């Protein structure tokens, strides 16, 4: 027999035998049993799962929630209402039955227990688990004077705006999604009125709409629990909930005009926000429009940063310039570093227009030219990154940038040729002729 064929054949046989033994071992080994872990800090909180890491993270969420909201809600260290979280992994005996979140309440004489269950692959697991902890803490205020529970209360006893608003305060917003949603809604004049926010009975199953609702719940609660008179009034309201004459939350809410003003100022409270290059460009595009008031609303004049120097100076224009300088200064605090010189030139130009119109016009032209140059430079960087992603060849020793630079230069040369005004269209026509 050919030895060169024998060795691979023998190896294949051994591998097949080994694989069969491994499969047999896997089939013979039963799935691990779920174990229950109890929070050492708060024994009333527990979690059951075959995933010990998930249990540890769940118990940590309970600790973080209590530490953050306990002082706000004026709660003690002990959880009056136990919370049990069941996380079902794919190897769990309940895996086939548990495919979505569910929560139930079990009355137990002088207390109630929240039983929550969810699959481990739930994309909203963190929010769902936090929601149960916040609900249990709020119950300590809602049922402070209730000594015995024969039946479980409705979950809706805690209003959505309060539950979700407090839960959102537990999480950072590194992507600034909440701020972005509210800002765009305010700018488009599509922010929900206060009575709509406070009347929500549930969160939408649509992920984006649910995030939209949670963002406004957050800003409402955030306006009520900030240090000072707002928080004191909020805490006093909570103490009335378990009394014989609970006070309506309406006493806490601002007027509709106050609510819209709260949303307008919400972004000013987010001083840690730094916009990306694209976000800064979008913000500048939104801020470049200048409205010059008139005695009659129909006579209001509209201009831009680049055209405002064409309007005659007057008290109305000076007031508009002052407001715009404030807006641009606030934008510069959060702007991408590449945009700082441009925003600074615009502010200097608008300031100079009042006392030295010629110098003001000069500075505004410089700002405009620098803005155009910055956008063209950024587009070249984007083009290069896109080109590299399409043509990358790590086995090549040639300079990718040198090759790209040659291609970009050639495109610019062709584009400047009056006989070939559109190089992209010329390439398409060439492809069409070939195919």
Q: Which domain holds residue 74?
A: 34-155
Q: Are residues 299 and 315 in the same domain?
A: yes
Provide the pLDDT for residue 9. 39
Residue 22: inside a domain: no
Residue 75: inside a domain: yes
- 3-state SS of the chain is CCHHHHHHHHHHHHHHHHHHHHHHHHHHCCCCCCEEEECCCCCCEEEEECCHHHHHHHHHHHHHHHHHHHHHHCCCCCCCCCEEEEEECCCCCCCCCCCCCEEEEEEEECEEEEEEEEECCCCCHHHHHHHHHHHHHHHHHHCCCCCCECCCCCHHHCCHHHHHHHHHHCCCCCCCHHHHHHHHHHHCCCCCCHHHHHCCCCCCCCHHHHHHHHHHHHHHHHHHHCCCHHHHHHHHHHHHCCCCCCCCHHHCCCCHHHHHHHHHHHHHHCCCCCCCHHHHHHHHHHHCEEEECCCCHHHCEEEECCCHHHCCCCHHHHHHHHHHHHHHHHHHHHCCHHHHHHHHHHHHHHHHHHHCHHHHHHHHHHHHHHHHHHHHHHHHHHHHHHHHHHHCCCCCCCCHHHHHHHHHHHHHHHHHCCCCCCHHHHHHHHHHHHC
Provide the pLDDT for residue 413. 67
Q: Of 352, 379, 406, which residue constitutes the final position of a domain? A: 379
Q: Are residues 229 and 294 in the same domain?
A: no
Provide the pLDDT for residue 51. 92
Q: Are residues 168 and 116 in the same domain?
A: no
Based on the structure, what is the number of domains in the chain? 4
Q: Are residues 38 and 149 in the same domain?
A: yes
Residue 12: inside a domain: no
Q: Are residues 365 and 424 in the same domain?
A: no
> What are the pLDDT digits (tens) for 12-24?
443 344 444 444 4
pTM equals: 0.59
> What are the pLDDT digits (tens) for 123-151?
899 999 999 999 999 999 999 888 888 77
In this prediction, the residues of the chain whose per-residue pLDDT falls under 50 are 1-26, 271-272
Q: Are residues 297 and 345 in the same domain?
A: yes
Q: Are residues 65 and 139 in the same domain?
A: yes
Provide the pLDDT for residue 254. 79
Q: Are residues 88 and 64 in the same domain?
A: yes
């Amino acid at each position: 027999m050919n030895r060169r064929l024998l060795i691979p054949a023998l190896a294949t046989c051994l591998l097949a035998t080994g694989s069969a033994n491994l499969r047999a071992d896997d089939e013979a080994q039963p799935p691990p049993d779920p174990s229950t872990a109890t929070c050492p800090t708060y024994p009333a909180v527990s979690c059951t799962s075959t995933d010990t890491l998930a249990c540890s993270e769940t118990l940590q969420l309970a600790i973080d929630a209590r530490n953050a909201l306990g002082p706000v809600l004026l709660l003690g260290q002990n959880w009056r209402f136990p919370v049990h979280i069941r996380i079902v992994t794919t190897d769990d005996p309940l895996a086939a039955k548990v495919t979505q979140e569910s929560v139930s309440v079990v009355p137990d004489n002088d207390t109630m227990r929240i039983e929550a269950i969810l699959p481990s692959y739930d994309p909203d697991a963190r929010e769902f688990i936090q929601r149960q902890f916040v609900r249990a803490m709020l119950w300590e205020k809602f049922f402070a004077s209730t000594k015995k529970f024969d039946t479980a209360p409705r979950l809706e006893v805690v209003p959505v705006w309060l539950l979700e608003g407090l839960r959102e305060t537990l999480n950072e917003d590194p992507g600034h999604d909440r701020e972005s949603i509210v800002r765009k809604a305010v700018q488009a004049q599509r922010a929900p009125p206060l009575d709509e926010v406070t009347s929500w009975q549930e969160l939408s199953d649509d992920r984006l709409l649910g995030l939209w609702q949670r963002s406004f719940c957050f800003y409402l609660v955030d306006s009520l629990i900030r240090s000072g008179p707002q928080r004191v009034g909020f805490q006093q309201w909570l103490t009335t909930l378990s009394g014989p004459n609970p006070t309506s939350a309406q006493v806490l809410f601002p007027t509709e005009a106050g609510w819209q003003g709260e949303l307008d100022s919400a972004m000013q409270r987010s001083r840690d926000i730094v916009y990306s290059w694209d976000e800064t460009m979008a913000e500048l595009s939104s801020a470049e429009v200048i409205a010059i008031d008139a005695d009659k609303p129909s006579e209001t004049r509209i201009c831009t940063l680049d055209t405002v120097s064409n309007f005659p100076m007057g008290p109305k224009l000076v007031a508009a310039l002052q407001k715009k300088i404030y807006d641009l200064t606030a934008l510069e605090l959060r702007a991408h570093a590449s945009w700082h010189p441009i925003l600074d030139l615009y502010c200097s130009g608008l300031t100079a227009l009042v006392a030295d119109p010629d110098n003001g016009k000069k500075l505004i032209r410089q700002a405009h030219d620098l803005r155009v140059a910055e956008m063209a430079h950024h587009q070249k960087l984007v083009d290069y990154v896109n080109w590299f992603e399409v043509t990358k060849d790590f086995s090549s020793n040639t300079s990718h940038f040198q090759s790209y630079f040659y291609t970009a230069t050639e495109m610019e040369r062709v584009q400047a040729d009056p006989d070939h005004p559109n190089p992209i269209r010329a390439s398409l026509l060439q492809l069409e002729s070939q195919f």
